Amino acid sequence: MRDLVLVGGGHSHVQVLKRLGMQSIPGVRVTLISEQPLAAYSGMLPGCVADQYTESDMHIRLLPLCAQSGARFIQGSVSGLDLPQQTICFNDRPPLHFDVLSLNCGAQPLVAPQLGIAVKPISQFLPAWRVALIDIQRAPERVPQISIVGAGAGGVELAFACRTALPESVRIKLFGVKLLKDHSESARRRVRSVLLERGIDYVQERFTSALAEDGHPVFWVTDVKAPSWVADSGLDCDELGFVRVNEQLRSVSHPQVFAAGDIAHLSGQERSKAGVYAVRAGKVLASNLVAASQELPMVGRTHRYRAQRGHLNLINCADGTAIASRGRWASRGRIWWHLKDYIDRAFVSRFNDLAEMPQPAAAVSGALQPELPDESMRCGGCGAKVAAEPLRRVLARLPQQHAAYVSLGIGDDAAQITNQGSQTLLTVDGFRAMLDDPYLFGRITAHHSLNDIFAMAAQPTAALAFVTLPLMAAHMMEEELFQVLSGAVSVLNEASVPLVGGHSAEGAELSLALTVTGSAEGQTLTKAGAQLGDKLILTKPLGTGVLLAAAMRGESDGNGFSACIASMDQSNSRAVAILQHCQVNALTDVTGFGLLGHLGEITRASGLSAQLGVSSLPILPGTEAAMLAGIRSSLHAANQQALVDYAIPQPMLADARLGVLVDPQTSGGLLATIPAVKADECVQALRQAGYTEAAIVGQITAAGSSQITA
């Protein structure tokens, strides 16, 4: 009945999600919007630079956290707010409605990009740091110096970390008008001592562009400002664009908006921008969002945030010691490093080491147990299809379907209807949602549905939609329908395919199916045209089925999930033209029956066999790791039956990549047979057109036994 939307995966919001995992809010749908599926814990960044932590150690995995809390995860970049309409705006998708909004999205550096590399946002800093580090390690004589701008605790820690990471020959300069301006003189003395001990020059002046003219790396750890869209939205903000909030962390101008962390300006209790305040605010923010989204009063101490005036500061010296300070007291020692390490690891662990999601128990008799499905948690997307063998048996039991105008019927990617000389192609495809994001789900379903027309080298011409919506408040069902159809239409419009009608219904969960018509200028391609000696070319990497299953179970790798989404949201339309130019003989799209299932359709229709090499398979990142962890799509076991049609060397039977061959794909690539003389040219053209993982994965062989080789 209400939408609570969290923008940003900051230190406060992860605590809100953790609380919701223990107790949900009745009648409230929670959505997290984040630019990345990983949230960096800033306190561990210097340790990561100094190689004391891996990047995995310092990141909170938002996908599993959302899965456990029952929150939707939408990966996107917010560009504005329409507060009168209560919507969140984006540059690349329709606005999203909220009833209650919470901001914990961090801040941006007060520095021009041309002057150096800013530490925030961390997601952009880490790749830039890796590039700079490799360049310096390869040829330190070409980079005699680096500069770090900002002499607060963050700049000091980064300087110490860089000293540990870089060769001794590289000079490090730390610039700032005042060293540790928010700390005591005792803490400053100890920091100066470590700077001297480690050969780091502290330059007590402002850094100017003239000092960077020799092109040496410059890292900025200075004051920050809010993203411009925050102040532009009409929220009451301070001079740097931070949202003014009261002690309830509620906007002083818009009561339906809350803010915490760097993005918030605590009216009446102003503090410096430090992660400790976002951490401490998390509990109060969670209580207030629970109350506000249910329109309950917020009274009592649990709803008031009091920012502490002092706290223990721990500065990592990146040498096995740390400097601790509070008030006038300061101390350096190994014990403080161990304390900091314990605190930081414990914080990240709270959100990454989650209890296993309980599997529903099936209370059936022992005699019926063998007929239970292998996976009680069922997949969405193409993992939710009916398996190939039951489908073939059902179609065989139906009466034969004949008509004079049907030139191609069941068996190819689309049916073909001949109308007074012209030909019309017809196909239908769809599934229940495999993603939390309804807009992105709509886009991927449209890509997937158009692929059946593209796989016959034809042009889609029109589409009908069938949408099933879960029961919600009327305004939420309307918004859900708008989001999913907007996603579908955005892809259809890119392909010049009008949505000409459809039907909507109420059901248990969100689902979308599209009926697509198409036309072919010349001869349509089928699965029956493969020729002996043709090379098998795959346009996209494999692994969407297992990666979506991992995300549904809350076990997804963030990088793998992002790569999976990007692959599914890529059209195959440009690939068809390239394949036609390279004299494609047979073509199909790889979907629910996996690569082997759809290759089998080609070889059976063509009366030939095939040889596949698993080492040449393009595979999405995180796929093999998920396979090795035992994660499978719910259609995987049925698809495995295709392996019996292939001769497989004994040593390969335990190879995880065999599982990838039968993994059901959603909006997968095209599988084409191309004359051998054109194959290399074809792959090169595909890669230049954006299908960067396109590869030759095997070849068509004489009728007999198909093979899988290393």
Q: What is the pLDDT of residue 396?
A: 62
CATH superfamily of 535-709: PurM-like C-terminal domain (3.90.650.10)
Residue 382 a catalytic site member: yes
Per CATH, which fold does 113-224 belong to?
A: FAD/NAD(P)-binding domain (3.50.50)
Q: What is the pLDDT of residues 478-503, one digit of tens each?
A: 889 989 999 999 999 999 888 888 88
Q: What is the pLDDT of residue 404?
A: 55
List the alpha helices (DSSP H) in 541-635.
544-552, 558-568, 573-581, 594-606, 623-628
| Cβ atoms of 154 and 221 closer than 8 Å | yes
412-450 burial by CB neighbour count: b if 16+ within 10 A, else e? bbbbbbeeeeebbbbbebbbbbbbbbbbbbbbbbbbbbb
pLDDT confidence bin for 385, thresholds 50/70/90: very low
At 321, phi and psi to the nearest 5? -125, 170
List the alpha helices (DSSP H) in 455-528.
474-494
87-90 and 96-97 as β-strands: parallel, antiparallel, unpaired? antiparallel
Choose, from 162, 237, 317, 382, the residue flagged as catalytic. Answer: 382
pLDDT exceeds 70 at position 657:
yes
Q: What is the pLDDT of residue 260?
A: 92
Q: What is the pLDDT of residue 420?
A: 60
Q: Cα(333)–Cα(278) distance, rounded to whole angstroms?
A: 27
| Cβ atoms of 166 and 134 closer than 8 Å | no
| Tokens read off for 223 | 């004051």
- Alpha-carbon distance values, 571 to 67, 247, 515, 568 (Å): 28, 49, 17, 8
User: Please, where in the chain does CATH 3.30.1330.10 lie?
Assistant: 413-519
| Tokens read off for 29 | 């749908």
Q: Cα(451)–Cα(434) distance, rounded to whole angstroms?
A: 18
378-387, 447-456, 658-667, range with the lowest pLDDT: 378-387
Question: In CATH, what number does 413-519 get?
Answer: 3.30.1330.10
List the alpha helices (DSSP H) in 10-121.
11-22, 45-49, 62-69
Q: Which amino acid is located at 424 in the chain?
A: T
pLDDT exceeds 80 at position 419:
no
pLDDT confidence bin for 384, thresholds 50/70/90: very low
- Alpha-carbon distance values, 272 to 112, 120, 206, 227, 512 (Å): 22, 16, 20, 18, 48
Q: Does domain 2-107+226-310 have CATH number 3.50.50.60?
A: yes
pLDDT exceeds 60 at position 394:
no
Mean pLDDT of the chain: 88
Q: What is the pLDDT of residues 226-264, one digit of tens each?
A: 999 999 999 999 999 999 999 999 999 999 999 998 899
Q: Cα(675)–Cα(680) distance, rounded to whole angstroms?
A: 10
Q: Cα(306)–Cα(281) distance, rounded to whole angstroms?
A: 8
| Cβ atoms of 456 and 425 closer than 8 Å | yes
Q: What is the pLDDT of residues 69-93, one digit of tens each?
A: 999 999 999 999 999 999 999 999 9
Q: Cα(379)–Cα(432) distance, rounded to whole angstroms?
A: 9
Q: What is the pLDDT of residue 572?
A: 95
Length of the chain: 710
Q: What is the largest CA-CA distance in the chain?
A: 93
DSSP 8-state code for residue 105 = -
pLDDT exceeds 70 at position 43:
yes
By percentage, how much of the chain surpasses pLDDT 70? Answer: 89
Helix axes 153-165, 185-197, angle to 10 degrees: 20
Q: What is the pLDDT of residue 305?
A: 86
- Alpha-carbon distance values, 443 to 310, 515, 516 (Å): 50, 15, 14
27-36, 57-66, 203-212, range with the lowest pLDDT: 203-212
pLDDT confidence bin for 386, thresholds 50/70/90: very low
> What are the beta bridge partners of residue 622?
none
Taking alpha carbons only, the member of 171, 107, 181 closest to residue 141 is 171
Tokens 């209650």, residue located? 100
Which DSSP string do the residues of 42-63 spell out, in sequence order? GGGHHHHHTTSS-TTTTEEEHH
Half-sphere exposure of residue 120: CA atoms within 13 angstroms, side-chain side: 25
Tokens 């996976």, residue located? 375
| Cβ atoms of 563 and 621 closer than 8 Å | yes
User: Please, where in the chain does CATH 3.50.50.60 lie?
Assistant: 2-107+226-310, 113-224
Q: What is the pLDDT of residue 35?
A: 93
| Tokens read off for 423 | 């030909």
**Stretch 53-63: mean pLDDT, rounded?**
93
Taking alpha carbons only, the member of 541, 550, 545 closest to residue 629 is 550
Q: What is the pLDDT of residues 95-124, one digit of tens each?
A: 999 999 999 987 877 776 567 888 888 888
Spatial strand order in the sheet of 706-709: 586-589, 670-674, 535-538, 695-701, 609-613, 706-709, 646-647
Would you tell me how many other CB atoms lie within 10 Å of the CB of residue 280? 18
Spatial strand order in the sheet of 87-90: 78-82, 87-90, 96-97
Q: What is the pLDDT of residues 196-220, one digit of tens each?
A: 999 999 999 988 877 776 778 899 9
Q: What is the pLDDT of residue 405?
A: 47
| Tokens read off for 347 | 């914080």
Taking alpha carbons only, the member of 697, 690, 638 closest to residue 672 is 697
By percentage, how much of the chain surpasses pLDDT 90? Answer: 59
| Tokens read off for 450 | 């158009």
pLDDT confidence bin for 382, thresholds 50/70/90: very low
Cα pseudo-dihedral 446, 452, 458, 462, rounded to 10? -40
Q: Which amino acid is located at 472 in the chain?
A: M
Q: What is the pLDDT of residue 79?
A: 95
User: Please, where in the chain does CATH 3.90.650.10 lie?
Assistant: 535-709
> What are the beta bridge partners of residue 59?
40
Distance between first and last Cα of the chain: 54
Half-sphere exposure of residue 163: CA atoms within 13 angstroms, side-chain side: 21
> What are the beta bridge partners of residue 334?
none
Between residues 378 and 28, the one the model is more confident about: 28
